[in-house]
Amino acid sequence: MEKLVYTIWKTPGAAELAAALADALAPIHGVRGLQINLPDARFEGGQAPIRNMLEHFDGTVSLWLDSRLERDPVEAALNTLCDGFHGYSVSESCPMHNTLPSPDSSGRIDTLSQVCLLRKPEDMAYRDWLSTWLDSHSAIAIECQTTIAYIQNIVQAPLTADAPVIHGIVEECFPVAAYSDIGLFFGAPDDAAKMQANIEKLMASTARFIPMDSIDRIFTVPYTISGTEQHAGDRDA
């Protein structure tokens, strides 16, 4: 079983795009789990997205297949419905119990989902980079933020010829209110001193393995599509 993550771009009509992607991808033979992350109007005008590697990146499609060799119909659908995409084969780690709200009838989950693309520093050994992220930073990120779901995707290989080099794709989910409440985002509502301490601790940890010019960050809402098997990173891991 392989998990595939596609970075996509096509901002207008997120709800309509989610429905179209679900209709196109869920029935494909071999798709055993499907999550779509797209922009949401509530997550605009506050914390800004960061785009260093993919200028138009604004969403992701995550799915599970028995083998990447079965992905052609998936990419054909993405090619029709999206303005562009890049694909990656990944392995998944879930370092905390996810406590997300239940999806509505469309699969939409009422949460703020921050998706980040990570690229290791050129002068850092991959083994050291991976250990810093998975074995050390994870606990700090969870401690310093009001995280309700945390999924780490370790990139194994690119799937599309022009995909930029990235080494990790991380999804962190928060209460919707955390987008406009920075104290809540950093795990310290109504406590400015604790908020600042959490920010400084988190930034210091991040700086050990991810320069700010080697990260892309967007804010999305996730849709989990029923009618496919559920897998580890799906909403109650």
Residue 115: CATH number of its domain:
3.30.70.100
Q: What is the DSSP string of the chain?
A: -EEEEEEEE--S-HHHHHHHHHHHHTTSTT---EEEEE--GGGSSSSPPB-SS-TT--EEEEEEES-GGG-HHHHHHHHHHSSEEEEEEEEEE--S---PPPP-TTSB--SEEEEEEE---TTS-HHHHHHIIIIIIHHHHHHHS--SEEEEEEEEEE-STTPPP-SEEEEEEE-GGGGT-HHHHTT-TT-HHHHHHHHHHHHHHHHTT--GGGEEEEEEEEEE-SSS---TTSTT-
Enclosing domain of residue 10: 2-224
Does some domain include residue 161?
yes
Cβ-based burial of 162 (10 A; exposed 0-12, middle 13-18, buried ≥19):
exposed
Does some domain include residue 229?
no
Count of residues making up the chain: 237
Does some domain include residue 15?
yes
Does some domain include residue 33?
yes
Strand partners, 92: 153
Does some domain include residue 237?
no
Q: What is the pLDDT along the chain (237 residues), one digit of tens a residue?
A: 899 999 999 756 677 899 999 999 999 999 999 999 999 988 988 888 899 988 889 999 999 999 999 999 999 999 999 999 999 999 999 999 999 999 999 899 999 999 999 999 999 999 999 999 999 999 999 999 999 999 999 999 999 999 999 999 999 999 999 999 999 999 999 899 999 999 999 999 999 999 988 999 999 999 998 655 544 344 444
Does some domain include residue 231?
no
Block residue for tokens 């996730």: 222
Rounded to whole angstroms, the Cα distance separating 175 from 157 reads 32
Rounded to whole angstroms, the Cα distance separating 153 from 83 reads 24
Q: Report the domain count for the chain.
A: 1
Other C-beta atoms lying within 10 Å of the C-beta of residue 45:
9
Q: 6 near 24, Cβ under 8 Å? A: no
Does some domain include residue 233?
no
pTM recorded for the entire structure: 0.92
